[in-house]
């Protein structure tokens, strides 16, 4: 191990910026952040951060800010690549292809602070000798303008090992615990080791696989979904119960109160948009395959009837396709042509 852990943090949006700050603040880490849409602002002026965990900072910069994935150095390889991007499985490039240049086989630990199921599979396939860790974040943070980060709910991160069949379980566990230590070292954030990655992921899906698509499809925020005619009884509860049943079939018994807990999690009159609604409002792609498609496929494979999520899934796919046409990823035959 070098004195400092060299960390590449991919995705310098709201959640990524707070994670970068939390890691850079300690002696043991040197953080390089890869930004996309906010690169110009962040590389020149740094971040302006208002954080319930870290206080207010102006002009804060990580060790380095890049607008591309760097090549791995043979003398100074990255110890960790922390991925905090949206995971849009159906739009290239894949996350594995994106980070490939920076990955040193057998060395770099990949940490996925992302939602959904089976997100580790393409990475383990692409990097069969590398450890991949699960990060489930309960932070509340947004970026009202590029480089301006507002964190209004504490950074709570659950880290555990995804299982790579090529590696030893003990090494994966140790790597997860080491990352927890690193992320906790500043003392300002809650980061816990959690051996059972699946339980945490399924639990978060009760919110994400249901409220996210329902809000994105209807255009209603989480407060209005609770007020709208029949939406909770007719859509939200049936969808959430399907996730609870699929989780159970997968071996994860969620608490009896989880459906009500998730429905009431956001204060009603805050009228908060879940991330997928924010994405559709901005015309961004939605990460529906990992947070909706994968649990649907898992559940149905195990014989769980999931009629509500199945319809929501296909509606999300149609909405994504519409956006792909807008962004030029698909083209349609010209109007009035006979091509079909």
User: CA-based Rg of the chain, rounded to a whole angstrom?
Assistant: 20
Whole-number Cα distances in Å, 18 to 29, 56, 140, 189, 198: 14, 12, 10, 10, 25
**Residue 311 touches its own copies, criterion: CB under 8 A:** yes
**Residue 317 touches its own copies, criterion: CB under 8 A:** yes
- Beta carbon nearer to its own copies, 29 or 306: 306
User: Are 318 and 121 a contacting pair, CB within 8 Å?
Assistant: no
**Residue 71 touches its own copies, criterion: CB under 8 A:** no
- Token pair 């995705």 is at which residue? 11
Select from 54-62, 72-80, 128-136, 320-328 the region that touches its own copies (CB under 8 A): 320-328
Select from 115-123, 127-135, 181-189, 305-313 the region that touches its own copies (CB under 8 A): 305-313
- Beta carbon nearer to its own copies, 193 or 271: 271
**Residue 91 touches its own copies, criterion: CB under 8 A:** no
User: Are 92 and 58 a contacting pair, CB within 8 Å?
Assistant: no
**Residue 318 touches its own copies, criterion: CB under 8 A:** yes
Select from 28-36, 41-49, 173-181, 225-233 the region that touches its own copies (CB under 8 A): 225-233
Binding residues among 270-299 for its own copies as defined by CB under 8 A: 270-271
Whole-number Cα distances in Å, 196 to 94, 106, 199, 221, 287: 26, 24, 6, 31, 23
The contacts of residue 91 (CB under 8 Å, 6+ apart) are 285, 324, 329
Judge residue 267's burial from the number of C-beta atoms within 10 Å of its C-beta, 0-12 exposed, 13-18 middle, 19 or more buried. Answer: exposed
- Beta carbon nearer to its own copies, 121 or 314: 314
- Beta carbon nearer to its own copies, 100 or 224: 224
Q: Which residues bind its own copies (CB under 8 A)?
A: 214, 217-220, 223-225, 227-231, 234-235, 268-271, 307-308, 310-315, 317-322, 325, 330, 332-340
């Amino acid at each position: 191990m070098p004195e400092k852990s060299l960390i590449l943090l991919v995705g310098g949006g709201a959640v990524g910026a707070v994670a970068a700050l939390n890691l850079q603040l300690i002696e043991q880490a040197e953080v390089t952040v890869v930004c996309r849409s906010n690169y110009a602002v962040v590389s020149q002026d740094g971040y302006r951060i208002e954080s319930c965990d870290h206080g207010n900072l102006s002009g804060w910069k990580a060790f380095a800010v890049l607008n591309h994935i760097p090549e791995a150095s043979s003398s100074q390889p990255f110890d960790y690549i922390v991925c905090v991007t949206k995971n849009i499985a159906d739009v290239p490039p894949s996350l594995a292809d994106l980070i490939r240049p920076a990955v040193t086989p057998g060395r770099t630990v990949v940490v996925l602070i992302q939602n959904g199921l089976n997100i580790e599979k393409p990475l383990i396939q692409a990097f069969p000798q590398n450890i991949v860790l699960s990060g489930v974040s309960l932070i509340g943070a947004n970026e009202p303008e590029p480089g301006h980060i507002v964190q209004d709910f504490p950074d709570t991160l659950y880290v555990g090992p995804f299982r790579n069949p090529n590696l030893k379980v003990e090494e994966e566990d140790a790597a997860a615990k080491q990352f927890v230590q690193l992320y906790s070292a500043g003392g300002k954030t809650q980061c816990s080791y959690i051996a059972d990655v699946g339980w945490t992921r399924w639990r978060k899906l009760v919110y994400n696989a249901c409220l996210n698509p329902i809000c994105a499809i209807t255009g209603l925020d989480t407060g209005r979904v609770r007020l709208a005619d029949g939406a909770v009884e007719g859509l939200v509860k049936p969808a959430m119960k399907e996730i609870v049943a699929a989780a159970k079939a997968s071996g994860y018994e969620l608490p009896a109160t989880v459906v009500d807990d998730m429905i009431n999690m956001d204060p009603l009159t805050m009228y908060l948009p879940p991330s997928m609604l924010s994405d559709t409002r901005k015309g961004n792609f939605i990460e529906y395959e990992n947070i909706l498609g994968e649990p649907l496929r898992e559940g149905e494979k195990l014989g769980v009837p999931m009629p509500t999520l199945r319809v929501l899934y296909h509606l999300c796919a149609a909405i994504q396709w519409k956006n792909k046409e807008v962004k030029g990823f698909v083209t349609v035959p010209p109007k009035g042509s006979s091509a079909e």
